[in-house]
Structure 1
Amino acid sequence: MHYDTIIIGAGTMGMAAGYFLAKQGKSVLLLDAFNPPHDQGSHHGETRIIRFAYGEGKAYVPLALRALDLWQELEKISGKQLFLKTGVLNIGSKDHSFIQNVIESAKDFNLSVDVYSAQEVNKKWPGIMLPEGFIGCFEPSAGVLRVEACIDAYKTAALSEGATLKTNTRVVKIVPGEKVSVHTEEEVFIADSIIISAGARVNDILKSVDLTLPITPLRKTFAWFNADEAVYGSHFPAFTYEDENSSYYGFPSIDGAGFKVGRHDTGDEVSPDDVIREFDEADATELVQFNEKIMHQVGTLKYGKTCFYSKTPDEDFIIDSHPFHDNIYIAAGFSGHGFKFGSVIGEILSQLVLNGKSELDISLFKLMRF
């Protein structure tokens, strides 16, 4: 069967792209090796942070702001609460590059960010114990996205606009050309264009079009802990934490789920098709030590989970067309900070397919930089 666009990988970015293309009246086929939302990629685990004064660089700020507009638009379409405005507290030493980027991007884009000393943070949020020399940059308009609910909302919206979704369908080969053939284990589909947004498995898909991206799949862990709701409940901010040796992130206890924390840096290199080692005692120890040092009133471990990061060398994304096939688009390498942008990247991918260009600047994400 022929489609205008086939999307391989119907996770965060792919499902959103499917919605935006179907909304424009295009015939869209979404293919996924699993049944999204699922726990075989990067998009599970209940919550992700969305922030705008961006420590990873000012180029991301317009994308983050547009992303929030689109998430809020999706809330109206779905009738579900997807965004929780908990505020986000970025923690680090005052001269850390991440913290400096937060402060500078807030100034450049006129974003509301309150800068507190360690003593002020410790007083305002008694569940935190920062050492001397650290500061907290609190962004009250930022917060938390409910990840599975977000993907499920785009899934429902895409299908309501006429998109077709085939789950538990693994793509085995792509044959490029003026029309692109997409071969699954059982069928062959034809499209004018395709989008490949297959997460940690993207290079498996790209083999058949002679392209390998510099992406490293990493095993990552995060966990929930018992916590006093009066201290770490929904009034407590989501947070990032940076020091010279480590990088962590975390969430308040939402709906009584417990205090959630994970480590952003480090991680074991893996193959996405391997049986990934379950969350274990070593993973727990690392997070417990962080809590004892900084989040000193957090209680005992409830449970932990694993997921994938698809990491590029510079931790910036890849959003581009294939170097030799301009009807094959790629969205990959989101390096553990991409979910918040899922809505806007879906919109961007639809614009690339329809118009050959994006309304927002995505030059940072070009393949040629490698």
Structure 2
Amino acid sequence: MSNGGSYDVIVVGAGSMGMSAGYHLARSGLRTLLIDAFDPPHQEGSHHGEPRLIRHAYHGGPAYIAMALRAHELWRELEELTRTELLVQSGVLNLSAESIYSYQQRVEDAQDLDLGIEYLNADEINKRWPVIQLTDDFKGLYEPRAGYLYSEQCVRSYRQAALAEGAELLTYAEVEHIEVNERFAAVRIKDGRTFYADHAILSAGAWFSTLKGFIDLPIRPVRKVVGWFEPSTSAFDADRFPGFTLNSPYGGYYGFPSIGGAGLKIGRHDTGEGWLPGQPLKPFGSLPEDEGDLRAALEAYMPQAAGTLLRGAVCKYEFTPDDDFIIDRHPQYPNVLLAGGFSGHGFKFSSVVGEILADLVNKGSTSLDISKFAVSRFHSLTTTR
């Protein structure tokens, strides 16, 4: 094996989480190598097809809320550092039929944090945003300080910042083998070079199954679709309409206003076809539900947005069994950190996840509560030596 070099930390998977970690690690003075099978930002992960929502009054309890608030701060810091707009505070309107999901717990969790949220009934929502048509059984949680992130630009900005701090990035480098002991981690790529470090971070996203020879996490990659529809009114324009989530009898959805005339973007969060790394993704429109499900939800609740389909795209989710993240040490090797299973709602947190991973390397701990993200909750976890 040829020695490709030695570092303090190697990050395997330089997408949203990995690139953020690379910046925070390099900024702390550690010799950092980022390895990615492609050239981030790219179309092979979960970060393309911007934008992505960022919300604060989060489901899952105080741990998520604290992370969301810190993530927001870090996105603003990255904007200032790179002089690039990344976060737009458009407001986010969360909508749900009460029989499907109640926002009451979120309201209670957010009460002491001055998030400025508004808890609205269907009539109040219909009057404030007349292009939304809800039945009386709907409630809404409006977050005026929330909004959306330009995801690809976020990754690009973290890449710029990481390299400026001295991190090295190896692109189009597919990892073939990982070997670890208590003293070092060795990562071999397909061209035969092996890189060594005191610590390793694995953040391979939907491609985690390619690392099964070293760790087998219960992460299920899923094909997802999004579509951009042409509204018949300017009421859906970005300066007038918020980002949104929708829990309805038609399924669970999320969406964005029409940004720069691109059309209203909507995607379905639940359902989706299984996918295996290396397999081609069926293009948008291959399945009737690709457009059909998105259009049905719009016709039911935002009919003036259900115009011509301007564009469709496919992307990947990486689900854990409980939809919570994995941020923890490898169960056998404490010098290896795992960050994965972000389950279609993780991008907004990538700024703070990178900071958490850097703190775990540098300090051995983090000030944020990540106990619910432990790998030990999956009793069937398989590791190999």
Aligning the two structures, in what range does the TM-score lie when normalised by the shorter sequence? over 0.9
Paired position in structure 2 for 1:198: 204
Mapping 1:304-315, distance limit 5 Å: 304-315=312-323
**Conserved? CA contact 1:91–1:99, under 8 Å:** no
Name the residue aligned to 1:295.
Answer: 302
CA contact (8 A) 1:170 1:184 kept: yes
| Identity score, percent | 47
What residue is the counterpart of 1:254 in the other structure? 259
Question: What is the aligned partner in structure 2 of residue 115 from structure 1?
Answer: 119
State the match for 2:348 in structure 1: 340
Q: Would the aligned equivalents of 1:94 and 1:100 in 2 still touch at CA under 8 Å? A: no
**What displacement does 1:9 show?**
0.4
Question: CA 1:108–1:265 in 2, change beyond 3 Å: closer, same or farther?
Answer: farther
2:224 to 220, 223, 226: 220
Structure 2 residue aligned with 1:66: 70
Q: Which amino acid aligns with 1:290?
A: A
The one-letter amino acid of 1:251's match is F
Equivalences for residues 83-98 of structure 1 within 5 A: 83-94=87-98, 96-98=100-102
Gaps of 5+ in 2: 379-385
Q: Deviations over 1:117-163 (max 9, x none)?
A: 21221121122111111121111000000001100000000000000
Q: 1:229 touches 1:256 (CA, 8 Å); kept in 2?
A: no
Runs of 4+ in 1 over 6 A off after TM superposition: none
Unaligned runs of 5+ in 1: none
Shift of 1:59: 2.3
Q: Distance in 2 between matches of 1:348 and 1:54?
A: 19
1:350 correspondence with 2:358: yes
Which of the residues 267, 278, 282 maps onto 2:289?
282
Q: Decide whether the 8 Å contact of 1:56 with 1:98 is kept in 2.
A: no
User: Which deviates the most, 335-344 or 171-180?
Assistant: 171-180
Report the Cα distance in structure 1 between the residues aligned to 2:95 and 2:277, rounded to whole angstroms.
Answer: 32
Which stretch shifts more, 141-150 or 111-120?
111-120
- Match of residue 242, structure 1, among 247, 253, 257: 247
- CA displacement at 1:58 relative to structure 2: 3.2
C-alpha distance in 1 between matches for 2:208 and 2:66? 26
Indicate conservation of the 8 Å contact 1:93/1:99, yes or no: no
How far off its partner does 1:99 sit?
2.0
**Cα displacement (A) at 1:228:** 4.2
Structure 2 partner of 1:329? 337
1:133 pairs with one of 130, 137, 160: 137
Q: How many residue pairs were aligned?
A: 368
**TM-score normalised to the size of structure 1?**
0.97
Equivalents in 2 of 1:200, 1:168: separation in Å?
Answer: 16
Contact 1:9–1:31 at 8 Å: present in 2 too?
Answer: yes
5 Å-filtered alignment, 1:36-185, equals: 36-94=40-98, 96-177=100-181, 178-185=183-190
The aligned runs of 1:6-21 (5 Å cut-off) are 6-21=10-25
Matched, 1:319 2:347: no
Whole-Å separation in 2 of the counterparts to 1:349 and 1:231: 41
Which AA in structure 1 matches 2:166? Answer: G
Deviation at 1:35, TM superposition (A): 0.6
Q: Is the Cα–Cα contact under 8 Å of residues 224 and 301 in structure 1 kept in the other structure?
A: yes
Corresponding letter in the other structure for 2:201: I
For 2:225, the aligned partner's letter is: T
Q: Is the 8 A contact 1:58 1:101 kept in 2?
A: no
Shift of 1:208: 2.9
Of residues 104-113 and 115-124 in structure 1, the stretch that sits farther from structure 2 once superposed is 104-113
Instruction: Output the CA distance in 2 between the equivalents of 1:128 and 1:63.
Output: 31
Cα separation, 2, equivalents of 1:329 and 1:363? 14
